Amino acid sequence: MLPSFELLEPHSLDEALKMLATSEATPLAGGTNLLPDLRAHGRAGRRFISLAALDQLRGVEHKGNRVIMGGSTTLNDILRDPLMPKAAPSLVSMAKVFAGTMIRNAATIAGNICYGSPSADAIPPLLSVDAEVTLTSAAGERTLPLDSFLLGYKKTAHQPDELLKTVAWTIPAADSANLFYKLGRRRGDAITVVGVAVTVVIESGSCSKARIALGSVAPTVFRAKEAENILIGGPLTAATIDQAALTAAQASRPIDDIRASAEYRRHAVHMLVRRLLTQAWQTSGAKQHD
């Protein structure tokens, strides 16, 4: 049995924000992080605010080349959105290997981001498309890059009175590739050993923009910025790609745990970044030069 708790059930966003401002309470979205945690080692008597009735927090809006995703959008909503394979290919690849069907129907994007786990699978793809998050509270709204929202191990810039309202990004340019790979012990229902998302933009045969985002290999999901910079300003040769991949591996700070050793994880970063960048160069380069 779960330890006892109180549950507030607001019917509008305003009502929810008022509750958050005036009482010490935790937002409860899909509950796929909170409820197992509560069952494993939670204390009784906490207070939660259910986001279930707040329809305006759920759904994806495509506006020109902008995508605006409500915080309560589920992982399966992402898979059901017909425009998503173009809007963020890496996010779709990720959603396909996220947990299992039942969890994907409950788990939300805001829950994944706000829990702040280093193995949060949605974060590398979102970092690879330069996503921004909008937080709202009774006092007002603020928007910041997802990159600066993540502060450390299970630490984010989220304030107790705020809700993550939307995640938004600009669709990657036409001559680009955006890829994700999750290394796990099995394909479904597994916690990520290494997660990698890359974006490469190619203009006239030269790489004009690169993003490399890594999960499960540091206290938080992060961008390997030094490695990204190595790729800018020229064609992606095998040597350049390997140097960037090695630099990304060196920037990782993985730990040993039951799923893998730190050494294995660092090696996997080198290999997976190299593989994804090669694939990205070939697909985006081929689009341009054939």
Partner 1 sequence: MTDKKTGMAREKLVNIHVNGTACEITVPAWRTLLEVLRELGHVEVKCGCEKGDCGACAVLLDGEVVDSCLTLAWNADRRSVMTVQGLGGPGKAHPLQTAFIEHGGAQCGYCTPGMILAAKALLDDIPNPSLDDIKRGLSGNLCRCTGYTRIFSAIRAAAQALRQEGGTS
State the residues that interact with ligand FAD by CB under 6 A: 26-34, 36, 51, 71, 98-99, 103, 106-108, 110-112, 114-115, 119-121, 158, 163-164, 189
Span near partner 1 by CB under 8 A; candidates 6-14, 59-67, 127-135, 252-260: 6-14
DSSP 74: B
CA distances (Å), origin 288, targets 177, 202, 205, 285? 12, 8, 8, 5
Closer to partner 1 by Cβ: residue 98 or 281: 98
Q: State how far the Cα of 50 lies from the Cα of 29, in Å rounded to an integer.
A: 6
The answer to whether 212 and 248 have CB atoms below 8 angstroms apart is yes
- Does residue 239 touch partner 1 according to CB under 8 A? no
Closer to partner 1 by Cβ: residue 20 or 231: 20
Bridge partners, 140 (sequence order): 137
Backbone phi, psi, residue 253, to 5° = -130, 65
**Which one of ligand FAD, partner 1, none is in contact with 71 (Cβ closer than 5 to 8 A by kind)?**
ligand FAD
DSSP 56: G
Bridge partners, 200 (sequence order): 177, 210
**Which one of ligand FAD, partner 1, none is in contact with 50 (Cβ closer than 5 to 8 A by kind)?**
partner 1
The answer to whether 77 and 34 have CB atoms below 8 angstroms apart is no
**Which one of partner 1, ligand FAD, none is in contact with 19 (Cβ closer than 5 to 8 A by kind)?**
none
Judged by CB under 8 A, the number of residues near partner 1 is 32
Task: Map the footprint of partner 1 across residues 141-160, applying CB under 8 A.
Answer: none
The answer to whether 83 and 62 have CB atoms below 8 angstroms apart is yes
Closer to ligand FAD by Cβ: residue 120 or 183: 120
Whole-number minimum distance, CB 1 to partner 1, in Å? Answer: 7
